[in-house]
Amino acid sequence: MADKTVQLAHGAGGKLSHELMEGLILPAFSNAALDVLHDGARLTDLSGRLAFTTDSYVVQPRFFPGGNIGKLAVCGTVNDLAMTGAVPRYISCGLILEEGLPFAELTEILQTMKRMAEEAGISIVTGDTKVVEHGKADGLYINTAGIGELIEGTNIDPRSVKPGMKVLLSGTLGDHAATVLAGRHGLSLPEDIKTDCAPLAAMVQGILAAAPHTACLRDPTRGGVAAVLNEIAESAQVGIRIEEDAIPVRPAVQGVCDMLGFDPLTLANEGKCIAFVPAEEAEAALAAMKESPYGQEACILGETTEEAPGTVALETAIGGLRIVDMPLGAIVPRIC
């Protein structure tokens, strides 16, 4: 099977589809709900208030230092659930495969998904596989949807953010985007720089236990911290003020930014969390972040203010003040 590739027939529902399912997918994801191989998974042990989310993954390249598209697909959905204040329970896996994708690659991606699901304590209980013609899907696309149970006593809502709260960040910025973008533009990174992609459910449960009045949690993926802060400032109608000196960025990530003209505040992260916490619970929340292996460099980034509602301001290293605006979209290298 070493040099086998995905064929159109693997998605046609016949013998080859069955082979793909039995040979690759089931061995990777096997669990009681999935193994029934029914049209859908029957989830009989959920209770209380639920959270539900979905996301699609199309990253290029499919493999990058520290991870692959499968790791993103599980962690991304786990984290989206976690940010609502939920304990993630079940996710789905929709695969859109391009004809010609090596089985070896697909196997590695599925194995990564399995490992991440195990770490996050969730099961992949339903899914779908389609195959499209060569040249139509960059290898593969993945969609995952997830269900989680909301943690009792929490109420995560951007509109709960009030002036005077602390803004916490669970670690360094831009590791994921720098890792993916560097390769595209001929840059080689030192070995310790890799995607920060990680499941944050356990960290979030720690934060919510330590700081039950946490108002809002967000993972700064596309658009980075700049986008998240602007969205919260807008919906909560508070000002947000952060300090340039507090922003944690690894030197090599800053190096990528300097070379290609990027701003770390706008770069995507896949294993970071921003928390808006009442000042009196901020230290406890920070300690909880630091207890997680993914929160070692957690910090207090700034605070919310009554002044300038809807605006994100940054106090610069030399003591100036400027606006941090919503990023514009596609991140491309610039020379000027």
Partner 1 sequence: MTRPEERELASRLVAEIRRMAAEYGRPLRFMEVCGTHTVSIFRAGIRPMLPESVALVSGPGCPVCVTPDDYMDKAIAYAGRDDVILTTFGDMLKVPGSSSSLAEAKAAGADIRIVYSPMDSIAVAQANPEKKVVFLAVGFETTAPTAAATVLAAKQAGLTNLYMLSAHKLVPPALRALLTDPDVQVDGFLLPGHVSVVTGTEVFSFVAEEYQVPGVVTGFSAIQILRAIYRLLQMKCAGEARIVNEYESVVTAEGSPVALRTLGEVYESADAAWRGIGVIPKSGLRMREAYASYDIERAVPIDVPEGIPAAKKGCRCGEVLRGIIEPPSCPLFGKACVPTHAVGPCMVSVEGVCAAWHKYGQGRFSYGG
Partner 2 sequence: MCLAVPAQVLEIEGAIGRVSLSGVTREISMMLLPEAKVGDFVLVHAGFAMQLVSEKEAEETDALLAEMNGAPRTVGDLSGTVSAMEAAGAR
Q: Which is nearer to partner 1, 130 or 185 (CB)?
A: 185
Residue 2 makes contact with partner 2 by CB under 8 A: no
Smallest CA-to-CA distance from 205 within 302, 114, 84 is with 84
Contact partner at residue 332 from partner 1, partner 2, none, CB < 5 to 8 Å by partner kind: partner 1
Q: Which stretch binds partner 2 (CB under 8 A): 110-118, 134-142, 257-265, 278-286?
A: 257-265
Quick one: angle between helices 201-210 and 69-83, nearest 10? 20
As a whole number of angstroms, the distance between CA 275 and CA 28 comes to 34
Between the alpha carbon of residue 110 and those of residues 48, 59, 115, 222, 321, the distances in Å are 31, 16, 9, 24, 47
Residue 65 makes contact with partner 2 by CB under 8 A: no
| Helix H or strand E encompassing 27 | helix 26-29
The answer to whether residues 235 and 309 touch, using CB atoms and an 8 Å cutoff, is no
Residue 266 makes contact with partner 2 by CB under 8 A: no
Q: Which stretch binds partner 2 (CB under 8 A): 82-90, 166-174, 195-203, 312-320?
A: 312-320
Residue 318 makes contact with partner 2 by CB under 8 A: no
For 286, the 3-state DSSP assignment is helix
Contact partner at residue 106 from partner 2, partner 1, none, CB < 5 to 8 Å by partner kind: none
- Which positions lie near partner 1, rule CB under 8 A? 185-186, 245, 259-261, 311, 314-323, 325, 328-330, 332-336
Residue 150 makes contact with partner 2 by CB under 8 A: no
For 212, the 3-state DSSP assignment is coil
Residues that bind partner 2 (CB under 8 A): 182, 186-190, 193, 239, 251-252, 254-256, 258-259, 261, 306-309, 311, 313, 315, 319-321, 334-336
